[in-house]
Amino acid sequence: VQRCRIVAAAEVEQSYIMIKPDGVQRGLVGEIISRFEKKGFLLKGLKLFQCSKDLAQEHYKDLKDKPFFPTLIDYITSGPVVCMAWEGVGVVASARKLIGATNPLQAEPGTIRGDLAVQTGRNVVHGSDSPDNGKREIALWFKEGELCEWESVQTPWLIE
Ligand code: IDP
Ligand code: MG
């Protein structure tokens, strides 16, 4: 309630964050979720999910002409992923910083990929690259009714 009073709705964005199958297999789910929780963003949706090839191809449609596209689709569909919708002012760009560069060897220490991965083809997590793509991806991965409308008791202690 307080957040709505002090932050214009237009400024609030959502980012689609996904822990990829390697992150799930390597037991990094808690570690990765924890980084977004501790930063102070609001979790609006969360599920463990085995995605189809069609969904993976739709999600990554901008990359369909890349040589690595078939192996990317195999990777993303190789096991369950954790789908998340995170909300907050500036969450899209901030999540990209928390995640780090696409190539984990170039990602800064302190970022998720910089700390937890070594190869682009196994870079443990996805984050939307724009607010529009955040909306598109959340609509793609979550069904009606799967997101929760709620307010965190922490909000007045995060936003003045
Ligand atoms: P991003 O995930 O940092 O936004 P994108 O360029 O959008 O990076 O690529 C999407 C995903 O495709 C990457 O996270 C990675 O899993 C995979 N990918 C990108 N480039 C390569 C590559 O050169 N080889 C193998 N996989 C790649
Ligand atoms: Mg991308």
Tally DSSP H helices, then E strands, for the chain. Answer: 9, 4
Write down the pTM of the prediction.
Answer: 0.96
Structure ipTM: 0.99
Q: How far apart are the CA of 139 and the centre of ligand 2, in A?
A: 17
Closest ligand 1 atom to residue 122 Cα is 16
Q: How far is C-alpha 144 from the chain's CA centre?
A: 19
What pLDDT tens digit does each residue of the chain (160 aa) get?
A: 444 456 777 789 999 999 999 999 999 999 999 999 999 999 999 999 999 999 999 999 999 999 999 999 999 999 999 999 999 999 999 999 999 999 999 999 999 999 999 999 999 999 999 999 999 999 999 999 999 999 999 999 999 9
User: Tokens standing for 143?
Assistant: 């069904």
Catalytic residues: 126
Ligand 1 site, residue 120, Cβ cutoff 6 A: yes
Q: Whose CA is nearest to atom 26 of ligand 1?
A: 121
Q: For residue 114, report the phi and psi dihedrals to the nearest 5 degrees.
A: -65, -35
